[in-house]
Amino acid sequence: MEQVKAIVLRAAGINCDLETEHALRLAGAEPQRIHINRLMAEPTLLDGVHILVFPGGFSYGDDVAAGKILANQVVHHLSDLLHRFVEQGKLILGICNGFQVLIKTGLAPALNGDAQTSAADYPVTLTDNDSGRFEDRWVYLQPGSPRCVFIDPARRIYLPVAHGEGKIVARNAATLARLADEGYAAFRYVDAEGRPGPFPVNPNGSQDDIAALTDSTGRVLGMMPHPERFVRLTQHPHWTRLKEREGFGDGMTIFNNAVRYIREHF
């Protein structure tokens, strides 16, 4: 194919769209930043697009709940469109606040295909960190789902997190077991040796140390860590101690795999 096209969806309060656009461009895609209002007015903008990204930030100030207002816009104006988008074999990525949007729209992990309407009915949700504060630190991530097209199943990666509401909580034990048994848990927080552990290894207290969720197709990924913030080795917190100081960071694996998948299937 000639070009992999991507849209980075903007909204008031989103602040990681430029970095995400840059990462997609580094991966070889042709990204465009588009405001949610424009997409709602012109849904045909998705025609010919292969990758849709909900970037990080604080959409609408998280005034109601993290990602909730943007999620409501998606549910009421774009839900059918985005479900068709996935059915066509295309990809959706949600990062941090974007992950919160995917959770509240039901696009990830899509256990029942429904958007969240009341907290009591959420199969999975994101809530306040156990620390009670905003956590800005680097974490190791162990792949947990071989079907997710965004990840390398055998590669542990190192990425930053920056969130106040990143704790993944399942409605009950059966739902939590389903996330693990059926391959919905795309990444888990681990230490440098790949072992689970308490804070700060798990920065928010997520159940089963889950850091990211995919859907049944493996073409939707929601993750709390920020891959767009580690695309160059010089962004590593200890880059001056690295043997090699030039090249690409672990975050590029997410974007490279997405672009590669589209090129191989379209």
Record the tokens describing residue 252, joined without a space: 């590029």
Name residue 113's amino acid: G
Handedness of CA 209, 125, 105, 72 (dihedral sign): negative
Record the tokens describing residue 137, joined without a space: 């630190």
Catalytic annotation, pick one of 21, 135, 165, 228: 228
Taking a C-beta distance cutoff of 8 angstroms, is the pair 12, 60 a contact? Answer: yes
Q: How far apart are CA 11 and CA 156, in angstroms?
A: 32
- Residue 226 a catalytic site member: yes
Catalytic annotation, pick one of 50, 163, 165, 226: 226
Tally of CB atoms within 10 A around 106? 24
- Residue 77 a catalytic site member: no
Closest by alpha carbon to 221, among 110, 74, 62?
110
> Could you tell me which residues are beta bridge partners of residue 157?
141
Record the tokens describing residue 128, joined without a space: 């306040």
- Residue 228 a catalytic site member: yes
Taking a C-beta distance cutoff of 8 angstroms, is the pair 1, 265 a contact? Answer: no
Taking a C-beta distance cutoff of 8 angstroms, is the pair 218, 149 a contact? Answer: yes
Catalytic annotation, pick one of 96, 135, 148, 163: 96
Judged on CB neighbours under 10 Å (0-12, 13-18, 19+), 127 is: middle
Q: Which residues are catalytic?
A: 96, 226, 228
